[in-house]
Amino acid sequence: MELDPDNPIVELCVAGMEAEAQGDPARARTLFLQAWDARRDDLDACIAAHFVARQADSVDEVLRWNTEALTRADAVGGDRVRSFYPSLYLNLGKSHEDLGDMEEARRCYDLGDAHASTLPEDGYATMVRRGIAAGQDRTSATASGPAAARC
């Protein structure tokens, strides 16, 4: 998914990532929540929720925001979010893994892998693919079938 750098939601999220990089997670969270509050449509909400999850206070909250991001991506649908799904499923898988639900985590990682072909060949895609593969490796002992269910 190519993000519009002039979109105010994207601008807030970029500023939040810069705050993270500078070691200021509280400022990052504030900026990500401002992006959420300023959302105008499901695409904005998907982007903002994806970033709010990065600075959530608990694993339950991380799961809630990652689920919200996926729900909003589903509402947008189509090419506008197609290449965002691998990252969304990666993060959702990690949320389930952190909560101890390895089977659901594996389903999400498998769905991320199934969508990975939508990523362009660049450093970001490599990072996401590696994250998915690592998640699949960590959850392989608990896998019991094809991707389905809650993701």
Same domain for 51 and 92, yes or no, is no
Q: What is the reported pTM? A: 0.89
86 in a domain, yes or no?
yes
- Mark whether 48 and 86 lie in a shared domain: no
- Report if residue 66 sits inside a domain: no
The answer to whether residues 50 and 90 belong to one domain is no
- Report the percentage of the chain scoring pLDDT > 70: 92
User: Domain check: are 89 and 134 in the same one?
Assistant: yes
**What does the pLDDT read at residue 151?**
58
How many domains in the chain?
A: 2
pLDDT tens figures, 57-94: 999 999 999 999 999 999 999 999 999 999 999 999 99
The model's pLDDT over 25-42, given as tens digits with 9 standing for 90+, comes to: 999 999 999 999 999 999
Q: In which domain, by residue range, is 4 found?
A: 1-61+72-78
Do residue 5 and residue 49 come from a single domain? yes
Residues 54, 96, single domain; the answer is no
Q: How many helices (H) and strands (E) does the chain have?
A: 7, 0
